[in-house]
Each structure stands twice: as C-alpha cells, then as structure tokens.
Amino acid sequence: MLTKEELVNLVFTDVDTFNEEIKNAREAVDLSETDFSGISLEGVEFVNVDLTSSSFADSHLTEVKFDACDLTSVDFTRANLVECSFDESVLNGTDFSYSRTDYCNFSEADMAGAIFQGADLTNSDLSSSENLSACRFDEETVWPDNDNLPEDFDASYSSDLSSLQDEDDYQQSDY
C-alpha cells in the first residue's frame, strides 16, 4: 500500500491509479486532515476512506464517491458537488454551508450534526439518510422535494440545533 502522501498525490495526478489502490486496500485508508480545498475532481472513488477533518472547501466535485467513508468534521463549505455519492458515510459535524449539491445521494448516511446553513440541496436524495433531524440548517437552506427527504423530517422547522434555546423551550415529542 502506498503512503498517505503518495495517495494524495495520485488524487491530483492519476485518478484511475488512485481508485485501483483504494479498491485493493484491505482496510480503511487514512487520508484524514488532508487539504483538497479549491480543486476540481471527477470520478474519484473515496470508498472506505477516513477523511476526518479534511477540507474540500471551494472545490468542484463531479461523480465523486464518498461511500462508507468517515467524513466527520469535513469542510465542504462553498463546494459544488454534482452527482456525488455519500452512501453509508458518517457525516457528523460535516460542514456543507453555502455549498450546492446537485443530484447527490445520501443513502443511509449518518447526518447527525451535519451543517447545511445556506446550502442548496435541491436535487439531492436524502430520503434514506439517517438522523437528518439532528443536522443544523437555517431559513436560507434549500431542501429537495419531500420525496427526497425522510418522512419524519420537517424542512420548514428552522428552529433547529443551531438555535441556542433552553431545554425548557423545546416541545416534548411523541417519538
């Protein structure tokens, strides 16, 4: 297996070789705390990769797979993501603020603590994502149609985790 630096270099120089290395990896690949900000990537397959605390801020990503990845605290602010896949990934604390996700798939992705303030998720599929009600968003967040949201999620409820209210201010839920 190549070193972390060699793998990161392949992301920029030879996507096909990078994808092959990731497919042949016997365990999760550690690319945590890597700076991918401001780049354009197409067809990269980050499958079962630990990208914790990495940055894709201001990047343009097309058909990038983040399947079964640990994306805890990854920065996607102001990124443009087109047809990307986040299947079965952990997105705890992942920041999508002011990003645009077009036709992205979040099947079985854990969204607890993800940040979508000012994000445009118009055509993305979040219908089978998990813990979306535990994400942060604001009135500027653009959500997809209800068909692409979990049944129990209310996108019109803007008083979410980002508002600092006392526990006494919250209504008890029957769930």
Cα(114)–Cα(1) distance, rounded to whole angstroms?
A: 32
* Residue 78 resides in a domain: yes
Distance set, CA 124 to CA 16, 93, 104, 111 (Å): 26, 19, 5, 14
* Residue 156 resides in a domain: no
* Residue 157 resides in a domain: no
* Residue 107 resides in a domain: yes
Cα(142)–Cα(155) distance, rounded to whole angstroms?
A: 9
Residue 161, amino acid = L
Joined together, the tokens standing for residue 154 give 């209310």
> Residues 109-131: pLDDT tens digits?
999 999 999 999 999 999 999 99
Cα(45)–Cα(27) distance, rounded to whole angstroms?
A: 15
Its domain, for residue 125, covers 1-148
* Residue 98 resides in a domain: yes
**Which residues in the chain land under pLDDT 70?**
157-175
For residue 35, the cross-strand partners are: 55
Q: How, if at all, do strands 60-62 and 100-102 pair?
A: unpaired
> Residues 50-71: pLDDT tens digits?
999 999 999 999 999 999 999 9
Distance set, CA 75 to CA 26, 63, 141, 148, 173 (Å): 27, 18, 17, 23, 32
Q: How confident is the model at residue 175, as a pLDDT?
A: 52
Distance set, CA 59 to CA 62, 82, 160 (Å): 10, 11, 27
Joined together, the tokens standing for residue 57 give 């801020």
Cα(94)–Cα(51) distance, rounded to whole angstroms?
A: 11
Q: pTM score, two decimals?
A: 0.88
Number of independent structural domains in the chain: 1
* Residue 17 resides in a domain: yes
Q: How confident is the model at residue 135, as a pLDDT?
A: 95
Rounded to 10 deg, the angle between the 15-24 and 4-13 helix axes is 140
Residue 61, amino acid = L
- Can you give the C-alpha Rg of the chain in angstroms? 17
* Residue 173 resides in a domain: no
* Residue 170 resides in a domain: no
